[in-house]
C-alpha cells in the first residue's frame, strides 16, 4: 500500500473576493477541499498528516484552527507548520493552534535561531545546523552515519529566510536550528 498526497495551493481571489485554490487530490476528496481546507472535521480526520506551509495565521477561521489542533491532539495526526508567513507578525499567537506547536510563540527573545540548545551559535545566518539530538534522530538522519549526515546537512544551501521563534515547550526536542 502506497501513500496518497492531496495538495491545496492558495492562488488568490476571484471577482467576488473569495479565495481561489489549486486542488490536486485523490478521487472523492477533491470536493471537500474546494474552499482550501477540508469541509468537515471527518474529512480532516481522514488524513494522517497536515503540512501548513507559508500561510498567514488569519487565513484560517478560528474553527479551522481548532480542528487542526484537535487533529494533532485528539486524532494523533502529524502536523508540520513552516514558512515565514506562518509565523510573521502575530502569526498563530493566541490561536487554538498555538497550543499544538512545540515552541513558544509569545516569547521570541528565547529564539531557537539564536541557540543550538548547547549554547553554541549557528555558523552562518539561515544555515541549518543539527543539534546533538538532531544528529541522532531518525527524522534528520539523511546519511548512513552521523558523520555523513552532518556533512550532508552542512552542504545544503542556506534558507532564503527564517522567522524568529520562542524556545521549546517542555517535552519538545530541538533537532535543528
- One digit per residue, the tens of pLDDT, for the chain of length 177 reads 567 888 998 888 888 888 888 888 887 888 888 888 898 899 999 999 999 988 887 888 899 999 999 999 999 999 998 887 788 777 788 889 898 999 888 765 444 444 344 444 444 678 888 999 999 999 999 999 999 999 999 999 988 877 778 889 999 999 988
Query: Residue 83: how many CA atoms within 13 Å on its side-chain side?
Result: 12
**CB-based burial, 74-102: b 16+ in 10 Å, e otherwise:** eeebebebeeebbbeeebbeebbbbebbe
CA-nearest of 109, 108, 112, 103 to 130 is 112
Distance between CA atoms of residues 165 and 16, nearest Å: 36
Q: Find the radius of gyration of the CA atoms of the chain.
A: 18
The model carries a pTM of: 0.76
Amino acid at each position: 500500500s502506497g501513500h496518497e498526497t492531496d495538495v491545496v495551493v492558495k492562488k488568490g481571489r476571484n471577482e467576488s473576493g473569495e479565495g481561489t485554490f489549486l486542488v490536486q487530490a485523490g478521487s472523492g476528496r477533491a470536493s471537500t477541499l474546494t474552499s482550501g481546507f477540508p469541509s468537515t472535521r471527518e474529512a480532516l480526520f481522514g488524513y494522517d498528516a497536515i503540512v501548513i506551509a507559508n500561510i498567514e495565521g488569519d487565513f484560517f477561521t478560528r474553527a479551522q484552527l481548532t480542528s487542526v489542533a484537535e487533529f494533532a491532539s485528539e486524532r494523533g495526526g502529524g502536523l508540520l507548520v513552516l514558512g515565514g508567513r506562518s509565523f510573521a507578525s502575530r502569526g498563530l499567537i493566541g490561536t487554538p493552534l498555538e497550543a499544538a506547536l512545540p515552541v513558544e510563540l509569545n516569547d521570541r527573545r528565547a529564539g531557537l535561531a539564536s541557540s543550538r540548545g548547547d549554547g553554541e551559535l549557528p555558523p552562518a545566518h539561515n544555515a541549518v545546523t543539527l543539534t546533538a539530538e538532531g544528529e541522532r534522530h531518525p527524522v534528520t538522519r539523511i546519511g548512513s552515519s552521523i558523520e555523513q549526515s552532518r556533512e550532508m546537512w552542512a552542504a545544503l544551501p542556506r534558507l532564503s529566510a527564517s522567522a524568529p521563534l520562542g524556545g521549546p515547550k517542555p517535552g519538545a526536542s530541538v533537532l535543528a536550528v
